[in-house]
Amino acid sequence: MLDKNGIAKRIAKEIKDGYYVNLGIGIPTLVANFIPDGINVVLQSENGLLGMGPFPFEGEEDADLINAGKQTITTLPGSSIFDSAMSFGMIRSQKIDLTILGAMEVSENGDIANWKIPGKMVKGMGGAMDLVASAKNIIVAMQHVNKAGESKLLPKCSLPLTGVNCIRKVVTELAVLDILPEGGFKLIERAPGVSVDYIKQVTAGKLFADDGAPEMILD
């Protein structure tokens, strides 16, 4: 079973040289720590920055330079700044190669729910609906089961949707799964020490796993 860093590390292997990448808040943010040497990527922050650098050294924080999580950050050689309309323009026109975001639920036809729980204070969707509606390549980083032990990979999402039929790959603490164009989760890799039977047990949506799947290689 993977911890959060393990999930981030596995997702980092999906990043190719030259990619422009948008990382969501939570586990997706950790992916930046595991980008392999020799792979050049440009991170987009949707508040208006391409080329997001690391956190500043103490004393060098700049209130005018933050990421979409409102954290102080830095720029890098080659960075560019733009307004919010252009930021979502490059998202909608699919200039961003890869989007990595978290989810509360994903369904077997690629629907995603990650912004609202009825009965709880709703904070808003931020840029998530724009990203999932337009991105050509979305990886969801999420826990396979919720705190009650129930599957979050479902036949149909129970929570209000963020986007429909848009997710093609999910990485959890247990597995890497593709969502097939005709519907259903296809098991691609297992986390170290996790059995196919266990993955079957905790995947409520349709699962194609009869061919088995190799253990993932993280290093």
Partner 1 sequence: MINKVVTGADEAIRDIKDGSTLMLGGFGLCGIPENCITALVKKGVKRLTCISNNAGVDDFGIGLMLQQRQVKKMISSYVGENAEFERQLLSGELEVELIPQGTLATRCMAAGYGMPAIFTPAGVGTEVAEGKEIRNFNGKDYLMEYAFDADFALVKAWKGDTTGNLIFRSTSRNFNPVMAMAGKITIAEVEELVEPGTLDPDHIHTPGVYVHRIFQGANYEKRIEQRTVRPRN
- Residue 100 is given by DSSP the state E
Please indicate whether residue 14 is annotated as part of the active site. Answer: no
Q: Which of 133, 158, 214, 215 binds partner 1 (CB under 8 A)?
A: 133
Angstrom distance (rounded) from CA 158 to CA 153: 11
Nearer to partner 1 (CB atom), residue 6 or residue 163: 163
- Residue 35 is given by DSSP the state P
What's the min distance (Å) between Cβ of 57 and partner 1? 5
With CA atoms as reference, report the closest residue to 213 among 57, 198, 142: 198
Cβ(51)–Cβ(43) below 8 Å: yes
Quick one: tokens of 169?
């790959």
Burial of 19 (C-beta count, 10 Å sphere; 0-12/13-18/19+): middle
Nearer to partner 1 (CB atom), residue 53 or residue 184: 53
What's the min distance (Å) between Cβ of 203 and partner 1? 23
What's the min distance (Å) between Cβ of 157 and partner 1? 10
Assess 45 for contact with partner 1 (CB under 8 A): yes
Contacts with partner 1, residue ranges (CB under 8 A)? 45-49, 54-58, 60-73, 75, 81-85, 87-89, 91-92, 111, 121-130, 133-134, 160-165
Indicate which residues carry an active-site annotation.
46
